[in-house]
Structure 1
Amino acid sequence: MSEDRAEDRATVAERAAWAGSRVAHEHFRTDIAVETKASKTDVVTEADRAAQREVIDVIREAFPADAMVGEEDDELKAVPETGAGWVIDPIDGTNNYVRGMRTWATAVAAVEDGEPVAAASALPALGDVYTADESDAYRDGDPIAVSDVRDPETAAVVPTIWWPREERDQYARACEAIVSRFGDLRRFGCAQAALAALAEGAIEGVITNVDCNPWDSVAGVHMIRQAGGTVTDLNGNRWRHDSTGLVASNGALHDEVLAAANEIDPQ
């Protein structure tokens, strides 16, 4: 992909994320109806659907032929291995959103042949947008970088992607692995916010052993890499959209973060 073309996609990703997040924000802290999907904690609202439609409309103005991967409606549910596409989460952190909590994001990533080339996560209730192009990552237009923390006892690590009810023992082991190794544990309830926080140096690690939906992960993974961090699967191999597990770190602590992730499911 040419440099100009990649820059165009970064610009469109940011514009689309902001557009979708504004639609979602219009309904934030209102009496919008809440529906459930696969479980009692897997919730969706009409704001999710409306925001996704807005994101897609913005993208299609610039790239009408590109594939669309989206959490809601009938869009694709897997990243295409060839060609250009977009990965969209209209409201990542819907449980936070419906509770009136500010930590939720509209995330958009551009992919080419299965690899991210641009990304944006808008958090309108917090007033921030995180972006990444082919060279750097940014918060509100200013360059960001992962932290340089090397002492595990001063590091903060996040367990992310909620576990099914029958696997909550794995969440407990994730928490135990983190608190026994690192200085602190955080849980955001929004995977893209956690990944963005790692990219900006606010935390040092993000772990899960589950298969991540691309809309929960691809945008933030690109930001972390462009900010100088490391993202692998549970075996320490470079993470892809179809990897099992996700282990992200500032790089300096990756071995320790990877070890914690591998304690979640001893099998």
Structure 2
Amino acid sequence: MDTDFDSDAAARAHVAEQAARVGAAVAAGQFRREIAVETKGEQTDVVTQADRDAQSRVIDCIHSAYEANAIVGEEADELKSVPEEGPTWVIDPIDGTSNFVREFQVWCTAVAAVRDGDPVASAIVAPELGDVYVADDETATRNGEPISVSARTDPEGCSVVPTMWWGRDRRDEYAAACREVVERFGDLRRVGSAQVTLAMLAAGTIDGVVTNVYANPWDTVAGVHLIRLAGGTVTDVHGDPWRHDSHGLVASNGEIHDELLAAVGEVEAVARD
């Protein structure tokens, strides 16, 4: 049993991958089968027994190696914010549950190892896509091969994702985000899983991600770590380095970051009106 605070990032990345694989396997076993769906708030904020079962297995896997470490998780009674001190794991058993219940293949299990509030390793497993993303403190990979963000420099050739979820009372900001993307960049994508979106940015599939909404740590930390290790840039809406408690999230290949910040600035202007 390893509870050493100073364990290296490679060991934590290995456990993150194991835990994400286990959770994804549990969820995949219930995908496209009869399953009860509950709502936690708005009609799009859903949860299933698959979420709970997968989270339980993820936690078991982590605690078999790091028994004393805290867990931040979306479901059940786990912590809901990241402690500023000590080793912590941030997990999302099914990121993209709305996709999951609609039988749409874009969803994943995400696990991140955090130390003193900063990620040191992460894994994202998207079983229906056949993709496993892993990052330690040196390299980000997809299916065992190193990945990097895109090298595109012309915004008109870039695809950008307005991510997270703007509530029903913030749809004017959602509309503004979509407008800014389609007017400033080549195309808009929206796939319904924040962590898969961030992983795709790390792999160069898309070029930018933007939101002015506070993003929960289980929706972001694992993917943000991948992007950083893949050479990308992640900030808040003001251009300051992103943290788990930041206002908004702006991520890019670095080349189009200023244009993304200008876009989110316009969204913020709508929010203030």
Q: Using structure 1 for the length normalisation, give the TM-score.
A: 0.98
Gaps of 5+ in 1: none
CA distance in 1, matches of 2:24, 2:243: 26
Q: Which residue of 1 aligns with 2:107?
A: 104
Matched, 1:89 2:108: no
Farther-moved stretch of structure 1 (231-240 vs 252-261) = 252-261
Which runs of 4 or more aligned residues in structure 1 lie more than 4 Å from their structure 2 counterparts after TM superposition? none
Amino acid at match of 1:52: Q
SS in 1 for 2:68: coil
State how far apart, in whole Å, the 2-side matches of 1:136 and 1:213 are.
24
Tell me, yes or no, if structure 1 residue 18 matches structure 2 residue 44: no
The yes-or-no answer on 1:147 pairing with 2:150 is yes
Q: Secondary structure at the match of 2:72?
A: strand
User: Residue 241 of structure 2 is aligned with which of 222, 238, 241?
Assistant: 238
Aligned ranges for residues 25-44 of structure 1 at < 5 Å? 25-44=28-47
Could you tell me which residue of structure 1 aligns to residue 74 of structure 2?
71
248, 256, 273: which is aligned to 1:253? 256
Deviates more, 1:256-265 or 1:7-16: 256-265
Shift of 1:51: 0.3
3-state SS of the aligned residue for 1:146?
A: coil
After superposition, the CA RMSD in angstroms is 0.8
Deviation per residue, 1:95-149 (Å, 9 max, x gap): 0000000000100000000000000010001111111110111101100000000
Which residue in 2 is equivalent to 1:130? 133
Question: Could you tell me how far apart the structure 2 residues matched to 1:10 and 1:202 are?
Answer: 23
- 1:203-245 Cα offsets, whole Å, 9 max, x none, are 1100000110000000000000000000000110000000010
> Cα deviations across residues 12-32 of structure 1 (Å, max 9, x unaligned)?
000000000000000000010
* C-alpha deviation, 1:265, in angstroms: 2.5
Identity in percent: 62
Q: Look up the equivalent residue of 2:52 and give its one-letter code.
A: R
**In structure 1, distance between residues paired with 2:116 and 2:71:** 13
Give the Å deviation of 1:6: 1.3
**5+ residue gaps, structure 2:** none
2:138 aligned with 1:170: no
Q: CA deviation at 1:264?
A: 1.3
**1:207 aligns to 2:210 (yes or no):** yes
1:210 is paired with a residue whose SS is coil
Q: CA deviation at 1:38?
A: 1.6
| Alpha-carbon distance, 1:5 to partner | 2.0
Inter-partner Cα distance in structure 2 for 1:261 and 1:119 = 27
SS in 2 for 1:265: helix
Question: Matches of 2:192 and 2:238 in 1, distance apart?
Answer: 25
Which AA in structure 1 matches 2:115? Answer: E
Distance (whole Å) between structure 2 residues aligned to residue 5 and residue 248 of structure 1 = 26
Q: What letter is aligned with 1:193?
A: V
> Would you say how many aligned residue pairs link Structure 1 and Structure 2?
266
Among 195, 199, 210, the alignment partner of 2:198 is 195
Q: 1:68-103 CA distances to partner (integer Å, 9 max, x unpaired)?
A: 000000000000100000000000000000000000
Q: Distance in 2 between matches of 1:132 and 1:263?
A: 33
**Deviation for aligned residue 1:263:** 1.4
Distance in 1, matches of 2:255 and 2:268, equals 24
Shift of 1:48: 0.2
Secondary structure class of the residue paired with 2:267 = coil
Which one-letter code corresponds to 2:89 in the other structure?
A: W
